[in-house]
Structure 1
Amino acid sequence: MATAIDAVRASARDTGFRDTLQRWLPKLVLAPTALCALVFIYGYIGWTALLSMTNSKMLPSYTFVGFDQYVRLFENERWLVAAKNLVLFGGLFIGVCLLVGVLLAVLLDQKIRSEGALRAIYLYPMALSFIVTGTAWKWILDPGLGLQKLGQELGWSSFRFDWITDPDRAVYTLVIAAVWQSSGFVMALFLAGLRGVDPSIVKAAQLDGASLPRIYWRIVLPCLRPVVFSAVMILSHIAIKSFDLVMALTGGGPGYSSDLPATFMYAHTFTRGQMGLGSASAMLMLGAVLAIIVPYLYSELRGKR
C-alpha cells in the first residue's frame, strides 16, 4: 500500500515539474533576446536622450545643460537644411513610390504574360543595398560619365542633366535613386493585397457597367487601406533613417545641400566631436518615427476594440 502511495506522489511530482518546465521554458528561451533588446535598444535610447541634455563633446560628459543642445540644433543652418530636405525627400519618395507601386501592381494583376519575370525585374532593385544603388546612380548621373555624356555623344550637344552637381537639385537625385530601389517593394505589397480582394466584387461591378479604372479607384483600392498604411509607415521609416544612400550618391553635397538628418547626426557626432548636438538630432529623428508609428498603432488598436 505504501509503495503505491509513494508511486502516485512521485508521479504527481514529475507531472508538476513538467508543467512548471513547460510554463517557464519559453520564457527562459526568450530571456536572452529580451535582455539584449532591453540593453542594446532601449538602454541606448535612454543613454542617447541623457547625452542630448549634456555638454558632451568628443567623449561623454554628464554636465547637465537642459535643452541647450536642442536650442543650438534649431539655430544651426545645416540642421535646418537637413530638416527641409527630409520633408522634400520624404514627401516625394513616399508619394512617387506609392504611385509607381500601385500602377505596377494593377498592371501585374491583369494576369499578363511573363508576370513572374516582370515581378522579379521590378523586385530586383530591392535586393541591392543602398550603397550599391547610390554608387550605380552616381555613375549614371555623373555629367562627365553618365546620361549627360551619353546624350551629347548621340548628337544632343545642348543636353544637360547635371542635377547631382547642382545644389538646388541634388536632393532630387536622392529621390530618383530611392524610388528606383523601393517602388518594387511597394508593388509587391499592393499586389499581395489585390490578390486578396474577393473577385466576385469586381465581377459584380463589371456587370453594373463600371469601367476597370473606376473599379480599382472606387472599390478595390479602398479595400487596401491596411496595405497603404503599412507601405507609408515602412517608406517613412526608410526616409527618416536614410544615410548610406546619401553618403554613396552625393555625400551630402554639393556643400551640405543634400544633407539629411541621419548624415547631419553622423557628421556632428563622429567627425566634429559634438556628441551632445548629435544626440539631440538623433532624438528628434526618433521623435519623427514615433510621430508616424504611434497614431497608426492607436488607430489599429482602436479599430480592434
Structure 2
Amino acid sequence: MVLAPSFAALLVFVYGFILFTIYLSTTSSTLLPVFDFIGFGAYSRLFAIPNWTVALKNLAIFGSLYIILCSVMGLFLAILIDQKIRAEGLLRPIFLYPMALSFIVTGTAWKWFLDPGIGLEQTMHALGWTSFTFNWIKDSQMAIYTIVIAAVWQSSGFIMAMFLAGLRGIDSEIMKAAQIDGASTVQTYRRIVIPQLRPAFLSAFVVLAHLAIKSFDLIIAMTNGGPGRATEMPSTFMYSYTFTRNQMNIGAASAVIMLMMISSIIVPYLYTELRGEKK
C-alpha cells in the first residue's frame, strides 16, 4: 500500500509516456498530437534529414572521446589517490566537486571561459601574449571538442570514485606477492590490478554512454547546437523538431531511436548483473 502510489505514478509518467511517444512516432502529428496511424514513415523521413545524420556523427565523436578520456582520467586519478598520499582527504572532494554542479552551470562557465572575447584568449592577450588564439567554440570544425572538454571535466571525478572503490577492493596481498616476485609497478597494474577492475570499467562505460546519448543541457548552455549545426546532437535535434519546427512525429521518432540506443547498453548490462546474482 505504501509503494502503490509511487508505482502507479512510475507506470503512467515513465512507461506510459514512453509508449505514448512510440505511438506518436507512427502518426502524422505536427504541432499537436493526432491519432491517425500511418506506419513508420516518420522514421524514413528522419534518416533522410541531413541534420539527423550530423547529429549521429557528432554523437559518435563526442561519445567515443567522452568515454575514453573520462575512463583514462578517472583511472589515473584513482591510482594517484590510491597511493595513500597525504592530501587524499582534500583531493577527493576537489575532484568530485564538478559532478555536484548541474550541466547548465558547467556549460555556462565553460562557454564564458572559452569565449574568445571574454575568456581564456582575451586573458592571454591582456597578459601580453597577443599571438595566443583559442577560438574552438566559434569554429564549426572544432566546437564539438569543446563539449568534450567540458563533459570530461565534469564527469572524470565521478569515474575516479568508481575506480577508487574497485582499487580499494583488490586484495593487497596479491600486489605484495607480485612485488616480491620482482614485478615492477607498471607490470603489477597492467597484469593484476587493471584486469580486476573489469566490473568498474563496465559500470563506467554504461554510465558514460548513457550520459553521452541523452546529453542536452550542457550543449544548450555552451553552444545551443552551433555554430550552425556543428554541435547538433540527437537530443537537441529531438527538441528542435518537436517544439520549434512543429514536427512532433519526427521528434518522437528521434526520441525512440535514442531510447533504443540507451536500451542496447542498459539491457545487456542488467542481464549480465542479474545472471551473476543468480549464480
**TM-score, length basis structure 1:** 0.89
Deviation, 1:49, is 0.3
2:146 to 162, 167, 173: 173
Asked if 1:30 is matched to 2:7, the reply is no
Q: What is residue 256 of structure 2 aligned with on the other side?
A: 283
Q: What is residue 99 of structure 1 aligned with on the other side?
A: 72
Q: What is residue 145 of structure 1 aligned with on the other side?
A: 118
Q: What is residue 251 of structure 1 aligned with on the other side?
A: 224
Asked if 1:115 is matched to 2:88, the reply is yes
- Distance in 1 of aligned mates of 2:189 and 2:227: 43
Q: What is residue 106 of structure 2 aligned with on the other side?
A: 133
Of residues 146-155 and 67-76 in structure 1, the stretch that sits farther from structure 2 once superposed is 146-155
- Distance in 2 of aligned mates of 1:199 and 1:227: 18
Gaps of 5+ in 2: none
Deviation, 1:153, is 2.4
**TM-score, length basis structure 2:** 0.97
- How many residue pairs match? The answer is 278
- Distance in 2 of aligned mates of 1:53 and 1:106: 50
Q: What is residue 193 of structure 1 aligned with on the other side?
A: 166
Q: What is residue 294 of structure 1 aligned with on the other side?
A: 267
Secondary structure of the structure 2 residue equivalent to 1:156: coil
Q: What is residue 234 of structure 1 aligned with on the other side?
A: 207
Secondary structure of the structure 1 residue equivalent to 2:56: helix
Q: CA RMSD in A?
A: 1.0
Query: Deviation digits for residues 161-195 of structure 1, max 9, x if unmatched?
Result: 10000011111010000000000000011111111
- Distance in 2 of aligned mates of 1:54 and 1:118: 53
2:47 to 74, 92, 95: 74
Amino acid at match of 1:284: I
Amino acid at match of 1:105: A
Gaps of 5+ in 1: 1-27
Query: Deviation digits for residues 250-274 of structure 1, max 9, x if unmatched?
Result: 0100011101111111111011111
Deviation, 1:302, is 4.1
Deviation, 1:300, is 3.1
- Distance in 2 of aligned mates of 1:188 and 1:297: 21
Q: What is residue 86 of structure 1 aligned with on the other side?
A: 59
Asked if 1:217 is matched to 2:206, the reply is no
Q: What is residue 175 of structure 2 aligned with on the other side?
A: 202
